[in-house]
Amino acid sequence: MEWKRLKAELLTAGGVRVEGAPIDRYTSSSSAGPGAGGGGSVFFSDGNHRVRLSLNQKSPLTLIHQGDGDARLCRGDEVIVGKLEAIGLHCPRQAYITVTGSCSFQCRYCPVPSLEGRRKAPGEVVAMIEAVVDQIDAISITSGVHSTCEEEEDYICTEILPQLQRFHLPIGVSIYPTEKTPSRLHALEVAEVKFNIETATEELFSLNCPDLNRSAIWKALTDSVPLFGRGHVFSNLIVGLGESDQEVCAGIDELTRAGVIPCLRPLNPVAGLTGAERPTPERLIRLATYHARALEREHLDPNLALTMCTTCTGCDLVPGRDL
């Protein structure tokens, strides 16, 4: 089976059951992203591509770990031979750190507010990176919101980021932006930013993220492109919140025309959307094909990404990488 079809099916399967040798050193537990607060994930690679698979003992898919990362993914009669990838922090080849593990907002699809995680101190973040520095190519920073977006941005910009320049690695940052966020992050030599527009339409945004302002996020994106460069600004667009394909395509067009690379993220039905349906593999492939054409038309190349999700590719079908 071709990779894009297999990955689309794996992304919608809701995880894998793991058997065989222990997988502790290959397991990531997330405090952000689609797997936040779940039972952990592994990253499976067929040698050229990667997919993040949540651990789910009820899944019809089985992954057999034979030891030393050698793994077989069993899907009915089909067996896909590959490797479990080593993890930096959260994902392979990066230290992707959630600074504040709680959030004062209540977006319906997001489990972070209920996790009530704590805020990491600067020394703790530095120590975490030092422990994996020989296994990573990038540092990515994300954060919930402890009290306000302004306070969070201050903490990241004054306490955390100045401590990270010593590693001489590209830094990506994804936080809830204020008006000043793009210029502050640029002044701190951040390489790439991701501000998530999340929904294909304004109406779905108001419904799912009632306390946030979509136009402020959009402004942060367009302000960021001249600073960080076309193709080094990213935005998650969730697929599966009730939008039509046409609305997703319009969102892709709007972002790519502005020089922003969309990350089309299949809905993980958790938090307030537990029980919602995941998008089908056919839909993911259809939208990824449109996404690939839009990126090509705007000369945006996901292969040039240095940090965060477009480099990782674990959770999405990424044009130029998966198809």
Say if strands 138-142 and 94-98 run parallel, antiparallel, or are unpaired. parallel
Radius of gyration of the chain (CA): 19
Which residue in the set 314, 317, 319, 322 belongs to the binding site for ligand SF4 (CB under 6 A)? 314
Which residue in the set 315, 319, 320, 321 belongs to the binding site for ligand SF4 (CB under 6 A)? 315
Number of residues that bind ligand SF4 (CB under 6 A): 10
Q: How far is the CB of 40 from ligand SF4 (least distance, A)?
A: 12
Q: How far is the CB of 179 from ligand SF4 (least distance, A)?
A: 26
Tell me, residue by residue from 75 to 94, as one string, x for binding to ligand SF4 by CB under 6 A and - for no binding.
---------------xx---
Quick count: other Cβ atoms within 10 Å of Cβ 152?
23
Question: Cα separation of 140 and 191, whole Å?
Answer: 10
Q: How far is the CB of 246 from ligand SF4 (least distance, A)?
A: 26
Residues 6+ apart with CB under 8 A from 72: 63, 64, 66, 79, 80, 81, 82
Taking the least distance from each CB to ligand SF4, the nearer of 198 and 223 is 198
Question: Cα separation of 105 and 112, whole Å?
Answer: 9
Taking the least distance from each CB to ligand SF4, the nearer of 136 and 315 is 315
Tell me, residue by residue from 23 to 62, as one string, x for binding to ligand SF4 by CB under 6 A and - for no binding.
----------xx-----------------x----------
SS3 68: coil
Kindly list the distances between the CA atom of residue 252 and the CA atoms of 139, 173, 199, 205, 299, in Å, as whole numbers in the listed order: 26, 21, 11, 16, 14
Q: For the chain, report the end-to-end CA distance as a whole number of angstroms.
A: 13
Q: Does position 312 bind ligand SF4 by CB under 6 A?
A: yes
Taking the least distance from each CB to ligand SF4, the nearer of 184 and 265 is 265
**Alpha-carbon dihedral 268, 270, 271, 277, rounded to 10 degrees:** 80
Question: Cα separation of 258 and 45, whole Å?
Answer: 32
Q: Are 177 and 220 in contact (CB under 8 A)?
A: yes
Q: How far is the CB of 314 from ligand SF4 (least distance, A)?
A: 4
Q: Does position 321 bind ligand SF4 by CB under 6 A?
A: no
Q: Which pair of structure tokens corresponds to residue 15?
A: 């995880």
Taking the least distance from each CB to ligand SF4, the nearer of 34 and 240 is 34
Taking the least distance from each CB to ligand SF4, the nearer of 90 and 120 is 90
Taking the least distance from each CB to ligand SF4, the nearer of 34 and 281 is 34
* Footprint (CB under 6 A) of ligand SF4, residues 280-309: 309
* Footprint (CB under 6 A) of ligand SF4, residues 92-121: 96
Q: How far is the CB of 266 from ligand SF4 (least distance, A)?
A: 11
Question: Cα separation of 229 and 283, whole Å?
Answer: 30
> Considering only 75-83, 130-138, 253-261, 312-320, which stretch makes contact with ligand SF4 by CB under 6 A?
312-320
The string over 276-303, giving b where at least 16 C-beta atoms fall within 10 Å of a residue's C-beta and e elsewhere, is eebbebebbbbbbebbbebbeebebebe
Q: Does position 185 bind ligand SF4 by CB under 6 A?
A: no
Taking the least distance from each CB to ligand SF4, the nearer of 42 and 209 is 42
Q: Which residues form the interface with ligand SF4 (CB under 6 A)?
A: 33-34, 52, 90-91, 96, 309, 312, 314-315
